[in-house]
Structure 1
Amino acid sequence: MFKTLKNAWGIPDLRKKILFTLFIIMVFRFGAVIPVPFLNVTALKGLMNTVDKTGSALSYLDMLSGGAFANGTLFAMSVTPYINSSIIMQLLTVAIPALERLSKEGEEGRKKIATYTRYVTVLLGLIQGTAYFFYLRNSSYQGTPITKYTKGWEEVFAAFVIIMVFTAGTALMMWLGEQINQHGIGNGISILLFSGIVARMPHTINLLGQYLQAANQDATSYGKYYFFVPLFVVLFLVVIWVIVFMNDAERRIPVQYAKRMVGRKMYGGQSSHIPIKVGMSGVMPIIFASSILSIPSTIQLFLGKRVLTGFWKSFFDAFSTTGLLYSLVYFLLIIMFAYFYVAIQYNPIEMANNLRQNNGTIPGIRPGKPTSDYISRILSKITLIGALFLAVIALLPIGFGAFTGMHNMSIGGTSILILVGVALETVKQMESQMMMRHYKGFLD
């Protein structure tokens, strides 16, 4: 990876793209520290430090935003509205025939869908910003309100400004991601998400230092952290290795092409394969599941610090990120969405028809329905392995927190999966751009 970056830096065009991408990341990080008006930043930090220790969904949102969410800054909503918007449009493209036809119209159709995605992103940013404002309005830290104005027209004006700034930050982040796609190295939204997660690493290192410091001060009560902190570091490295390994893992279905005469030339007769990646759905099932499970937390944001009893208290406690029901539903949703995502991306019948049209067959399998059934069985098995892998990675930090009591770690399995996936995909894009420029020998 470092060799690829070094070689890319030596190419003037790619060097300009890398510098432009770094500039956009700097703009993103500046926006992530500019506070929204009419908020008591000191009280907000105290409140979010308390929330961070609970390991709730708010901690997850703060991790994705690179700390901007906890500080109530311009980019507090991060790329979450855009990701959710993309998910919604993908689902609607499958469910609504008009959108499905639009997606098959080539570049113009994709541009229209991208426009709809932008509109939905701004709408989701408005909803999420409103929910966050009501949470801040109904919260306080040691008796100090988070919002500076709590009565009369001043409160109405402050609410309007805060919500609009959050929404504008969402639109601006979406625009920054598109600029990286057009003028940078690509993967715009993923790059911003990557930089936000990386920005939280110093916070994680600081937390590990605090645990070790607590163990030094009171070894009787906190001596266990002498073992748990190195264990966290080892698991972090092991998870990275496993993700890299699974990212390249694939099942190859052998294909034999029949010989055919075209004029005086003979074509075909060679052997090939259909590669099916184990992690074909990427991190999308985890994002799908997290988006659905964040609905109870969003409702709780609107309720603020209101005291809940009876059914609603049990409901929100069950769907807290440290609850057993949350983990079980999270596991099942990841498995379900992994199969769903593969179902909308791969069509075994279409694959079998393409093989038949190109005079290709799978050895030992008859063309037509037997071939599509065979491909379906392979996809089902591979999807199950990939889904279980994603579920284990996603639930590992929850299990680690329950076992060690270290619930407030910013870097979990999902964030590592995003970091490694974005890094590998970006390097591949840079390699392909170097090959397009015919710089022979750079990738040897």
Structure 2
Amino acid sequence: MTSLKQSPPASSGSAPAAALHGGIGDPRTLILRNLRQSGIYIAFVGIVLLFAILTDGVLLSPGNITNIVLQYSYILVLAIGMVILIIAGHIDLSVGSVVALTGAVSAVLVIQQGYPWWVGVAAALAVGVAVGAWHGFWVAYVGMPAFIVTLAGMLLFRGLTLQVLDNVSLSPFPSEYQKVASGFLNGLIGGQGYDAFTLLIAAIAVIGYAVSVFRTRLARIRYQQSVESFPLFVTRVLLVGAVVMYFAWQLAHARGLPIVLIILAVLVIAYGLMTKNTVFGRQVYAIGGNLSAATLSGVKVRKVNFWIFVNMGLLAGTAGVIYSSRSNGAQPAAGNMFELDAIAAAFIGGAAVAGGVGTVVGAMVGGLIMAVMSNGMQLMGIDQSTQSVVKGLVLLLAVAFDIYNKRRAGATR
């Protein structure tokens, strides 16, 4: 058996010095190699600036930034699970129907039958896990393609949603349930005309990000992997920090820190660490990168595939709670086309069509690009049909860019 773990080189004593003096490798090669990862951030900044100009600054107003967070948080939650599936070489077409079903179950328990709000949340998550286990069984242990299994699930769980709701909408949820997606934390430590707590949390997040990426850089150098030059690295960290603090400043001048943003941040951090720093995460990448090699290396492919679908179901249940809380009710048509938005977020964020490539952070950026485009076009009064055309073209270009990168990489070998 071979191991998935890498062994450090015999000599790595110059790693810290290399980290501070520009890294390893030819600058042009490093830029080309990291274009796919860094390009998405450049594109995101460019799109934000474009729509900020086209909307006369309304896009970046405190109230509108808060609305973007509240309106698209459930898509970002779905994108986390979707990118993990895509990395492993799978896909899930049923998440929109699962969002509808979990929200419907929660609404029946809380609104119709009068159970406490947390019972509805727990039931929605449990239904999501059950759905994920259902998909995982057929894909992992029966061997059916995920595309077919989840396509059937899309129809199956949409039909169950109609039956659970008896083809009618249910509302409203109690105020405690509504706070999941519409509540805010503010005024905890004061602030004159702004919420200081929001700024404090953002500052802690920026510091944590800077420490994390610097440690990652040192680790890559110890293993003699290519890294960007130190000035470019510092510029990237400062740019990310500036964007986060500006975002927090706007939130602090609106209604404070949204509870749903805290939920999303916890999920991003947890899944980011899981995919990068755990054996399970490395196995997911191994399966998507080379299934035969992963199997020969001792990866329990069926088990891993089963649990990533269970995880997708759990996150779909979470998105169902957030969406039903945001809309203050459950509707038979809830979650329509959510799966396409989640898939688009993953691919725009750098996931590869063939699997083995992608990151949680990249999927978040891809989802934010979709959110900013949608919100910006709505502010400009562009009709829904044109918005769909633009989103489709962006997704097409993202996948085309992935294919172009692969062909270029193959030509340079």
Q: Report the TM-score range of the alignment, normalised by the length of the smaller protein.
A: under 0.3
Question: Could you state the TM-score of these two structures normalised by the residue count of structure 2?
Answer: 0.26
Asked which structure has the greater RCO (Cα within 8 Å, sep 6+), the reply is 2
TM-score normalised over the length of structure 1: 0.24
Structure of higher CA gyration radius: 1
